[in-house]
Amino acid sequence: MSNNIGLKYLLFFALLISNFISLKAQKEDKKSLKDNITFSGYLRFMNSSSVINSDSIIADNLIHNRLRFKLDFNSKLTGVVEMRNRVFFGEATNLNPDLGKMLNNDIGSLDLSIVSFDRRTLVIHSIFDRAYLKYSSEKWELRIGRQRINWGVNLAWNPNDLFNAYSLIDFDYQERSGVDAIRFLYYTGDMSSIEFAAQPGDDMDKSIFAGLWRFNLTGNDIQVFLGNYYTDLALGLGWAGNIKNTGFTFESTYFIPKKNIINSSNVLSSSISLDYSTKKGIYFNSSVLYNSGGNDRNTSSENIFGSFLGDISAKNLMPSKFTYFSQISGNFTPVLNGSFSSFYMKGEEMLLIMPSIAYELKKNIDSMLLGQFIYNELDSNINPMGIGVFLRFTYNF
């Protein structure tokens, strides 16, 4: 292990332990330290095969481990640390000599990303994506540190999610990344609250500061917010309710440049979603995303997945002006689940179909088979662009 890696570990744990020691005296009960610690996680193995054409099949392997630690200092104060460890090996890893450098990219205030082994045949990467203290009172809650701040209400796309934008296509990272931030939540009523969150940077153009108000109006959950989103001002609205037996959600954020307004374009990012569950447990979801700054014509290149998983942000969740999503899922038996999802980028004329089937082998051991099939339309012809097949086994502890 290099000196830099050792210093990262030492600095992180020194900060953590110093907090533990300083707050230990505040414990309200007499339980032992062991009784107040919760440890959980999972260990996964996933084999993937990518097919670009009939003559080119590339296989790769991933060992994915997550560790979760939670320490209750007392009934109000909690510390949380979560670590993500991944080991890559196989043909795709060997073909990408820059994989280690690509993975070692922690954009937080404190660099908690470690590449402990970086070779053509094997890459090992670890990152602390949660590390925060939470203080909870009857009326308010304060979190400080690396955390997930989820302001979205839709399933597929969340324009309101200023701090932690993500893509459903990244199916192997359900927890999503965290940000180094401070979050204060105050409950103004049983179904209403105000919230302030800040992700500070070197200056305002590299920072996110926002305040959000949630309330309930005639059975509908409403949220509005105003904030500084890097070089823009952000105005947001979220709405979650029901139309008879169908769930309805709406999210919209309007981005206004703080400088050079005359020569800059405002961006509106909005998503609408309808969902419905049958009595037999079949779930349907249909969503549409509008991005005023997106493309309305085909600009696709050789970078297939980059069109879906490019520079994801609340301002640019998908590269096309209109994107459509639909999903149906349900249980065939108590241990067998199936899902079928599709994404269509209008203008880019690109379609991603993502079927999956999951089976519980035994308690705490799950398996999943998932496919990703990409097509585009060019000169009125539907062309296959690539196929990905993923077989995954998970042990939860």
Q: Read off the CATH number of the domain in which 232 is found.
A: 2.40.160.10
Q: Which of 306, 297, 291 is nearest to 377 (CA)?
A: 297
4, pLDDT greater than 50: no
Q: What pLDDT does 30 receive?
A: 52
Q: What pLDDT does 27 receive?
A: 47
Q: CB 247: neighbour CB atoms within 10 A? A: 16
Average pLDDT of the residues of the chain: 89
Number of domains in the chain: 1
Contact predicate 159/317, CB 8 Å: yes
Q: Which of 22, 113, 133, 128 is nearest to 70 (CA)?
A: 133
Alpha helices in 183-319 (DSSP H): none
Q: What pLDDT does 3 receive?
A: 42
Q: Which of 300, 340, 302, 303 is nearest to 320 (CA)?
A: 300
Mean pLDDT of 130-146: 96
Q: How confident is the model at residue 32 (pLDDT cuts 50, 70, 90)?
A: low
Which residue reads 């610690």 in tokens? 37
Mean pLDDT of 22-47: 74
pLDDT digits (tens, 9 = 90+) for 260-295: 766 678 999 999 999 999 999 999 999 999 999 888
pLDDT digits (tens, 9 = 90+) for 290-323: 999 888 776 655 555 555 665 789 999 998 999 9
Rg (CA), the chain: 22
In the chain, where do the E strands start and end? 37-53, 56-72, 77-90, 113-118, 122-136, 140-147, 179-189, 192-199, 208-217, 220-229, 232-243, 246-257, 267-277, 283-291, 322-333, 336-346, 350-362, 365-378, 381-396
Q: Is the dihedral of CA 390, 334, 38, 164 positive or negative?
A: positive
Q: Determine phi and psi for 174, rounding to 5 degrees.
A: -65, -30
- Give how far Cα 243 sits from Cα of 91, 148, 237, 324, Å: 50, 30, 19, 21
* Alpha-carbon span 315 to 253, nearest angstrom: 8
Q: What pLDDT does 262 receive?
A: 67
Q: How confident is the model at residue 226 (pLDDT cuts 50, 70, 90)?
A: very high
Q: Which residue has the higher pLDDT, 24 or 206?
A: 206
- Domain with 281, as residue range(s), is 3-396
Q: What angle do CA 202, 205, 206 make, to 5 degrees?
A: 45
Q: Which of 212, 238, 215 is nearest to 225 (CA)?
A: 212
Q: Which residue has the higher pLDDT, 392 or 15?
A: 392
Q: What is the pTM of this model?
A: 0.86
Q: CB 296: neighbour CB atoms within 10 A? A: 12
* Alpha-carbon span 270 to 292, nearest angstrom: 9
Q: What pLDDT does 167 receive?
A: 87
* Alpha-carbon span 372 to 50, nearest angstrom: 9
Mean pLDDT of 93-113: 92
* Alpha-carbon span 387 to 381, nearest angstrom: 18
352-356 own/partner pairs: CB under 8 Å, 24+ apart: 352/169, 352/308, 354/169, 354/171, 356/171
